[in-house]
Structure 1
């Protein structure tokens, strides 16, 4: 091989190397940052790109996909209680504009320094917020903590070329002593609520029972009142019918020129017969003396006379 051939071979080799180095492939989900002699030149989109060989260099390949990082840190409340957080941070490049990509590429030396600044900023924001709250309020302020961190970090991260997608506080715990006391408070509150519920149930049961008993008494009293009324009406009707019967019998006996006192004597004997048949006793005491008989006959005659007077008034 002569000198001319060797030179030609070298030229072809360099031409191939230059041609190959003139094209670069950028993977999907990333962009390429090109510099010339160390100075920013332009951004390469995903796919096959042309660059000036030996002059333009790929300074960095930046992922525009979402990234996540887990955090574990401690904060202290205003009442000096230690709070332990476990969180998950989700962030990404703000957009694919040239200025944003320049910030992402040149703000930090490398990703390690970026992560350190990002984590310390999030922890500092949460610690500052928790330091103004009491231990008893921290658990119910989970959403407020997240909103506070996002509000504080949005401007800072945008100046770095990033955007905070989400912050999740997966676990919030306290010292063991505080956890035990919180469990005791919850248990005592549950016992108190159970006792109150049991008391309310007992009160409702007693109240319903009293209402039912009162209603039963009212119903029984009403039934007794109606029964008494019906009994009174029955007795009144009975007496009215007896009076009518006695009036008719007295008129007939008077027309037949008979002594109407026989009616009273008959009623008296019927009453004695009723007593003897329906009474539970074995002895009926009657005044059988002459004076008693005479007094009874006078009373019967008086009643008879009263009956006759009544009949005469009705006849008139």
Structure 2
């Protein structure tokens, strides 16, 4: 009987010993209470408590935690928008007592402050300003939370506005506006590109016409020089200028007929093409030149007579 009691006491002692030893993980704090009253805070490592007298009241993580809060509110231009606010917070190591005993539900408390700040800041802004000044909203939330949560043993590491979601109809309207704006810019660029093409084409055509005209002028100049040389050569062998011109015209006429004949697929007909055609052409040209010279001489004589009459009139008026 005595041996049984002895073994029972040993077994009971082992159980009590093991229930009194406990370990705390890294980045974790354990709250120890004795008879329902706070006794101590234990950090990571191996610890001992008095069995049946001390108890583990709870544990708190010291890691950085994140809470996502979705707030729906209205902007200054009466657009309903949903904002997702991500709050990163951490329990201050030397304020574990406050974090455990003073605040029962930190998530609800943080959510309430986020709602309060966002619904105070966003209604002051238009929808476009909400997108542009989301960092200002995040800073305002962090400032308000830090001031409030510090008393409860919580440190607000960072707040982020991770999403801004307007009403579906508003998003569709914004997308249409954005698409129209981009189409307008694209049309302006296309019009400018077309204008550049037209200007470049016009410049190229102008340069082409200039070079073409220059080429024609050079060609005619060389033809005239060649005709002049031909007339000089014929004059040297006793042929006068009129006969030389007739000979050149006839030669050119037959050269043209020959070149036309060489083109088998040509449908061109040179009119007139009789042997007398070159001579008639030359006679007509000479007659035209002669008539033109006579008219020019007559005009010069008339202008000279008018000049003499005007001088006489001017002289008589000056004598008076």
The TM-score normalised by the length of structure 2 is: 0.66
Match of 1:103 in 2: 98
Take 1:221 and 1:274, find their aligned partners in 2: how far apart are those partners?
25
Partners of 1:224 and 1:54 in 2: CA distance: 121
Change in Cα spacing, 1:209 to 1:51, as seen in structure 2 (3 Å) is: same
Q: Structure 1 residues 276 and 25 mapped into 2: Cα distance closer, same or farther (>3 Å)?
A: closer
* Alignment match, 1:184: 176
- The match for 1:25 is 23
2:252 aligned with 1:278, yes or no?
A: yes
- Cα distance, 1:118 vs structure 2: 0.7
Larger radius of gyration: 1
Secondary structure in structure 1 of the residue aligned to 2:99: helix
> What is the aligned partner in structure 1 of residue 114 from structure 2?
122
What displacement does 1:134 show? 0.5
Return the match for 2:205 from 193, 203, 213: 213
- Tell me what 2:152 maps to: 160
Could you tell me which residue of structure 2 aligns to residue 255 of structure 1? none
* 1:229 shift after superposition: 5.5
Please state if 1:131 is matched with 2:123: yes
C-alpha spacing 1:100/1:226, structure 2 compared with 1 (3 Å): farther
Q: Cα 1:177–1:270, aligned 2, differ >3 Å: closer, same or farther?
A: closer
Aligned partner of residue 131 in structure 1, secondary structure: helix
- How far is 1:210 from its partner? 1.8
In the alignment, what sits opposite 2:243? 269
Of 56, 59, 62 in structure 2, the residue corresponding to residue 61 of structure 1 is: 59
Q: Within 1, Cα distance between the matches of 2:248 and 2:198? A: 50
Task: State the 1:87 CA deviation.
Answer: 4.0
**CA separation of 1:160 and 1:212: change in aligned 2, threshold 3 A:** farther
Q: For residues 54 and 193 of structure 1, do their structure 2 counterparts lie closer, same or farther at Cα, with a shift above 3 Å needed? A: same
Matched, 1:141 2:140: no
Task: Tell me by how many angstroms 1:55 deviates.
Answer: 4.4
Q: 2:64·2:90 contact (CA, 8 Å) conserved in 1?
A: yes
Secondary structure, aligned partner of 2:63: coil
SS in 2 for 1:171: strand
Aligned-pair CA distance for 1:32? 1.0
- TM normalised by structure 1 equals 0.67
Q: Which residue of 1 aligns with 2:290?
A: none
Return the alpha-carbon distance in structure 2 between the equivalents of residues 223 and 121 of structure 1: 87
* Residues 147-195 of structure 1, C-alpha deviations (whole Å, 9 max, x = no match): 3322332333333322334444443222333233223312322332232
Please give the root-mean-square deviation of Cα atoms over the aligned residues, in Å. 3.5
Matches within 5 A, 1:45-56: 45-56=43-54
Partner of 1:314: none
Q: C-alpha distance in 1, partners of 2:223/2:138?
A: 83
Following the alignment from structure 1 to structure 2, what is the Cα–Cα distance between the partners of residues 277 and 230? Answer: 17
**2:56 alignment partner, SS class:** strand
- Choose the corresponding residue for 2:185, options 193, 205, 217: 193
Q: For residues 133 and 277 of structure 1, what CA distance do their matches in structure 2 show? A: 94
Aligned length: 261
Aligned position for 1:83: 81
- CA shift, 1:41, in A, is 3.4
Aligned to 2:261: none
Cα distance in structure 1, aligned partners of 2:142 and 2:8: 59
Question: Aligned partners of 1:12 and 1:175: how far apart in 2?
Answer: 71
User: 1:4-43 to 2 correspondence within 5 Å?
Assistant: 12=10, 15-43=13-41
Residue 81 of structure 2 aligns to a residue in which SS? strand
Structure 2, unaligned runs of 5 or more: 254-270, 284-320
How far did residue 61 of structure 1 move? 0.9
